[in-house]
Structure 1
Amino acid sequence: MAKIKKGDLVQVISGAKPERGGDRGKQGKVLEILVEQNRVIVEGVNYVTKHTRVGQTQRGTKTGGIETFEAPIHISNVALVDPSSKKPTRVGHRVEEQVKDGVKRTVRVRFAKKSGKDL
């Protein structure tokens, strides 16, 4: 079971500090997970600029210029944020019984472990 999923609030726990132009300590929502590469794309984190060549579309409009977008970062460099304390925390799993339409099912559920110091 995945520890981090799309839509989770995560915090960057490694890299350069913001004073040096980095993203450590920033929080954002996970936009996409690239499973094969073990990377995540986080909203507002790891912005890169891409220069694209000027071209023309079928309608005749000009394309190209400078685009900025979020680049993927490794999943080990982010930690899930505890909803209660708003600090990065570890993720655990527990088995719970769910009753749906009179049928009992055992389901693995993620939960945020108690967060002490910042990771």
Structure 2
Amino acid sequence: MANIRKGDLVQVITGPTQDRGGDRGKQGKVIEILKDQDRIVVEGVNYVTKHVKVGQTQRGTKTGGIETHEAPIHISNVQLVDPKSKKPTRIGFREETVEKDGVKKTVRVRYAKKSGEKF
């Protein structure tokens, strides 16, 4: 079962800091998950420039130029953010029973462990 899903708020925990031009400490929503490569695309993180060749659409407008968009980063370089404290946290799973239409079913539910505490 995956810890991070599409739409989750995550924070980058590795790489150069923001004052050195990196993305460490930035938070963003997960746009896409590339499961076979163990990578995710995060909104506002890891921007790259892509040179697009000039072409024509069917309407006759010209396309092309330099575009910037998010590139995938490895899933181990991000950590899920606790919705209450807005700090990166670890994830746990627990089983809960859910009753739907008179049928009880056991499901695994994600929950955020304590974040920001020092021992």
**Coarse TM-score class (shorter-chain normalised):** over 0.9
TM-aligned CA deviation for residue 58 of structure 1: 2.2
Letter in 2 for 1:107: V
TM-score by length of 2: 0.96
Amino acid at match of 2:109: V
CA distance in 2, matches of 1:26, 1:18: 8
1:110: how far off? 0.5
Q: How many positions carry a matched residue from both structures?
A: 118
| Mapped pair 1:106 → 2:106 | yes
TM-superposed CA distance for 1:40, in Å, is: 0.4
What do the CA deviations read for 1:3-57 (whole angstroms, capped 9, x no partner)? Answer: 0000000000001100110000000000000000000000000011101111112
Percent identity, aligned pairs only? 76
RMSD: 1.2
Q: Distance in 2 between matches of 1:117 and 1:4?
A: 22
Question: Which consecutive segments of 4 or more residues in structure 1 shift more than 6 A?
Answer: none
Query: 1:117 Cα shift?
Result: 5.0
Distance 1:116 1:12 in 2: 16
Q: For residue 8 of structure 1, what is the amino acid of its counterpart?
A: D
Q: Which amino acid aligns with 2:107?
A: V
- For structure 1, the 5+ residue unaligned runs are none
For structure 2, the 5+ residue unaligned runs are none
What secondary structure sits across from 2:96 in the alignment? strand
Q: TM-score, normalised by structure 1?
A: 0.96
